[in-house]
Amino acid sequence: MWKGSSKIISIFLSAVLIFLLSGCSKDDKVEIPASSVQVIDGDTIKVRMKGKEDTVRFLLVDAPETHNDRLGKQPLGDEAKEFTEQMIKHAKKIELEKDQSTRDNYGRFLAYVYADGKSVQEELLKNGFARVAYVYKPNTKYAKEYEEFEQQARNKKVGIWQWDGYVRKDGFHPEATRNVFAASKNSDVYHPADCYVVKDIKPDNLIYFYSEASAKASGRHRSDVKGCWAH
């Protein structure tokens, strides 16, 4: 195969998306086949069109990570992904709307995403599965509205807002969570989420429990790791 073909494919698909979106008025959206969408995590999807694949990053929001080489998996990351999956899965129509810039520093296409006319970003914020973040000019079209939805979730202390200090300006801080427990899918024990051994669990195997009762209900018992339990 021709060297660099994958990069050329990405550039080509980018050109296709930009072409489709650039002809729209500011209130228009471009529809994409729902079957072409794969959810990566709460704020990121992959779109496949005419055999080409591209990554789409949701504008102005940040959901907890499910896979990240540096940050690992974060509390409520799986739930945020599941929330987005359900919106995408049950929608008959998926639409993308661009702002001013079309790509971020990682080459991902930037868009506002809609499922049957509902803003996925708004729903994530309302339900506490994302925070407002990465608000950089000129991509600030819905920043004010999003901040209002975020504040509603903060007032209700739902989702990521149930733990004081979990959400900060620089991202999510699992060490601030309370009554959160972690385990490996392959283990019969659980640990406090801030226990030092948790960082050694592979992200694909890491699961969180949001009460000790739910951890016990999974059939697991407390680990005997010294220094991790207060009592």
Within the chain, residue ranges assigned H as helices are: 5-22, 77-89, 120-126, 143-156, 212-217
Q: What integer best gives the mean pLDDT of the chain?
A: 89
Q: What pLDDT does residue 153 have?
A: 98
Name the catalytic one among 65, 79, 97, 122.
65
Report cis status (omega within 30 of 0) of the bond before 138: yes
| Whether 94 contacts 114, CB under 8 Å | yes
| Close Cβ partners of 111 (under 8 Å, ≥ 6 residues apart) | 21, 56, 57, 58, 59, 96, 97, 98, 99
Name the catalytic one among 79, 95, 97, 108.
108
Ordered structural domains, the chain, with CATH: 5-165 (2.40.50.90), 179-222 (no CATH)
- Predicted confidence (pLDDT) per residue in 19-70, tens digit: 555 545 445 689 998 889 999 999 999 998 777 899 999 999 999 999 877 7
Three-state secondary structure along 114-142? Answer: EECCEEHHHHHHHCCCCEECCCCCCCCCC
Say which range, 65-69, 77-81, 106-110, has the weakest mean pLDDT: 65-69
Our answer to whether residue 65 is catalytic in this structure is yes
pLDDT band at residue 205 under the 50/70/90 scheme: very high
Give Cα 168 distance to the centre of its chain: 16
